Structure 1
Amino acid sequence: MAPHLGHPAAAPPAPAPAPPVAAQPVPVHAHITDAMKAPDLVRLGDNVVLARFETMKVYAALGAVRSLLRSGRVVPGQTLVDSSSGIYALALAMACHRYGLRCHIVASTTVDAVMRAQLEVLGATVDQMPPSSSLRLDQERRVRHVRQLLAERPDFHWMRQYHDPVHYAGYAEFAGLVAGALPDAELTVVGAVGTGASTGGLVQALRRSGRPVRLVGIQPFGSVTFGSERFSDPEAIIAGIGSSIPFENVRHELYDTLHWVDFRHAMAGAVGLLRDHAVFAGLSTGAAHLVASWEAALDPGRLHLVIGADTGHRYAERVFARHAEALDRSSLRPRRIAALDELRPPWSVMEWARRAHQESGGTPAKEVS
């Protein structure tokens, strides 16, 4: 005889139907880049909003390519070349597709097969660096390869995403979106430093409008940009966050606060973002989520905007397949430091106070002007 299971629990009442909402017109875009460039704004907390991009650097690539074509520095049919860890490569390939230009990418070892296939179908040619144990070696190899290409093909135009200020131009449009969508109040922007153009371009444009904006930048250990090059984090080749060579597009005087975050902490932020908010995003976004959560708790009256540069697809195996190993984000705290000689992994924070120059730096790899 089957055991008596009793009456099933009563189902919760169905939610009341939502009132009808007038349909908003949906734009028909001339090219996919117009649809991809704008982020989704997602509230993560009372005073935290995420700007979640599919590929954030579409703003930079479109703005730069349009400016170069208008000025005559490049012409239709010319080949644009640059080095990239992934999302800029895709953005540049799409901009070239839109404007009738050829594209050649010197790809980081971190560019996966899915990304490479997209680039090749879009018409880009790709030279990828071999597996590397460090951010420094990967970037230095790419720099040397770009120099070799330019020596062989002087008709190529090097986009110099790390150095040419033309990459700031596109982010003024993003600033306009932020200004229209978020309350006109004090704002803290939290994002990876990387090339400097995304956080720098956004914050410069917002500050010019008169809005009080703090800029909180994030770096990996091993980056020369804000003086952590004496450390190594072999598990983290997060080339979109830091650099082994000085980037001229990083304007140190724009940054109020710096956080240095290791791979394990960035992973905790990325896994926590998916677990708590169902947002699948990359390691730089995970690091920004971790940092913004801590910053927002210190200043609950101020709105914090998290920059989510890309989706999590290229980190599926290295990060999300290992989700059971992820640290509990809520238990993590940074070490406060007053000078770079106090810097220590796994997470340190320092008030940079908009100083114009870093306190220490690495030896630059030889670049082309």
Structure 2
Amino acid sequence: MTAPTTPAVAPARIHEHITDAMKAPDLIRLSGNVVLARFETMKVYAALGAVRTLLRRGRIVPGQTLIDSSSGIYALALAMACHRYGLRCHIVASTTVDAVMRAQLEVLGATVDQMPPSQSLRLDQERRVRHVRQLLARRPDFHWMRQYHDVVHYAGYREFADLVTEALPGSELTVVGAVGTGASTGGLVRALRGSGRAVRLVGIQPFGSVTFGSERFSDPEAIIAGIGSSIPFGNVRHDLYDTLHWVDFRHAMAGAVGLLREHAVFAGLSTGAAHLVGSWEAERDPGRLHLVIGADTGHRYAERVFARHAEALDPRTVRPDRIHTLDDLRPPWSVMEWARRSHPQSVVPAEESS
């Protein structure tokens, strides 16, 4: 056994604002061909990039109120970006936003309207959008950030792509991450491919999401925030994705608990699903480097996931069902070669596209 060595200490960097310290991920090698990009709050890239771009274009001005709906981590990222650039922030929060997150938002100066408890992701999202529209009707001076539909949220991920290029040089790369709003995986991969790099994109969806056609299913155990949607998202570019995995709550839980148990990384459910999927993909293609996106920490899942760790499936014993069409889709875990095609159901409703 090789004796442990003391790593070289990199020079400390002093940041001008907490967002600079938080935005870049820690890159952790999980195996020979799997690297985890572990974020505290990944959407700091989206919020900072969007706010800076909108300020530069004159679409917003200091002192203005920015408004959006969120299930959690985008809300915190937007509140911090507003704190940095002298803007006000109003969040229409999902029922899934917990007391700790709400307290952070309020201390940062954001005002928060939270939706009542709901067992339906669709109802929760529809209520939030309806409430935003009601507020905008009364306050036309508010700027709606529209994280689900405004492509400006792609802008910040170019910086992440530069970081990946520097840290993980080479030609072939597979990115594995939750689809969510589409901006994080889409922004990263579009920037990487734009530089000429050969990049596969593997997306992850929950059952019940309309984004890639699993809306006829339901997953009664949980709403997996940040992975899917019950309404179409304009920022999802279906033709960027090579492969799709649909993962249920119990399999995402297995990945999250397994990641903590095997690698001491405490991360959320979307990261757990990405870890599970990334490990399977890496086994099938051992000569290719796989970058797994870990969007946030596990704190908001402490009770629903990690306190139940004894119930978790062993991620080494589970495998997906390979399917060829959406008609064959079935829980608990399916995989399909999407082959970068468009989706006929991806059109954003008129009331959401304005």
Aligned partner (choices 24, 35, 43) of residue 38 of structure 1 = 24
CA distance in 2, matches of 1:222, 1:175: 30
Aligned partner (choices 235, 242, 247) of residue 256 of structure 1 = 242
Q: CA deviation at 1:365?
A: 8.7
Aligned partner (choices 309, 316, 329) of residue 295 of structure 2 = 309
| Residue in 1 that maps onto 2:103 | 117
Whether 1:244 and 2:249 are equivalent positions in the alignment is no
Q: State the Cα deviation string for residues 77-106 of structure 1 (Å, max 9, x = none).
A: 000000101000000000000000000001
Aligned-residue CA RMSD (Å): 1.6
| Residue in 1 that maps onto 2:82 | 96
Letter matched to residue 27 of structure 2: L
Residues 302 and 315 (structure 1), Cα distance of their counterparts in 2 relative to 1, 3 Å cut: same
Whether 1:151 and 2:129 are equivalent positions in the alignment is no
Within a 5 Å distance, the mapping from 1:191-206 to structure 2 comes to: 191-206=177-192
| Residue in 1 that maps onto 2:120 | 134
Aligned partner (choices 31, 51, 57) of residue 71 of structure 1 = 57
| Residue in 1 that maps onto 2:352 | 367
CA distance in 1, matches of 2:311, 2:350: 36
Letter matched to residue 271 of structure 2: T
Whether 1:163 and 2:156 are equivalent positions in the alignment is no
Max Rg structure: 1
CA distance in 2, matches of 1:20, 1:203: 31
Whether 1:358 and 2:343 are equivalent positions in the alignment is yes
Letter matched to residue 343 of structure 2: Q
Within a 5 Å distance, the mapping from 1:276-315 to structure 2 comes to: 276-315=262-301
Q: State the Cα deviation string for residues 52-100 of structure 1 (Å, max 9, x = none).
A: 0000000000000000001110000000000101000000000000000
Q: State the Cα deviation string for residues 128-178 of structure 1 (Å, max 9, x = none).
A: 111111211111111111111111111100000000000000000000000
Are the equivalent residues in 2 in contact too, given 1:244–1:362 (CA < 8 A)? no
Residues 259 and 28 (structure 1), Cα distance of their counterparts in 2 relative to 1, 3 Å cut: same
Within a 5 Å distance, the mapping from 1:216-255 to structure 2 comes to: 216-255=202-241
| Residue in 2 that maps onto 1:179 | 165
Residues 16 and 99 (structure 1), Cα distance of their counterparts in 2 relative to 1, 3 Å cut: same
CA distance in 2, matches of 1:336, 1:114: 40
Are the equivalent residues in 1 in contact too, given 2:233–2:346 (CA < 8 A)? no
CA distance in 2, matches of 1:293, 1:24: 30
Q: Which runs of 4+ in 1 moved over 3 A?
A: 15-21, 359-366
Are the equivalent residues in 1 in contact too, given 2:234–2:353 (CA < 8 A)? no
Which sections of structure 1, spanning at least 5 residues, go unmatched? Answer: 1-12
CA distance in 1, matches of 2:169, 2:265: 23
Stretch moving more, 300-309 or 358-367? 358-367
Residues 263 and 364 (structure 1), Cα distance of their counterparts in 2 relative to 1, 3 Å cut: farther
Within a 5 Å distance, the mapping from 1:13-28 to structure 2 comes to: 18=5, 21=8, 23-28=9-14
Are the equivalent residues in 2 in contact too, given 1:223–1:243 (CA < 8 A)? yes
How many residue pairs end up in the alignment?
354
Are the equivalent residues in 1 in contact too, given 2:213–2:326 (CA < 8 A)? yes
CA distance in 1, matches of 2:345, 2:319: 25
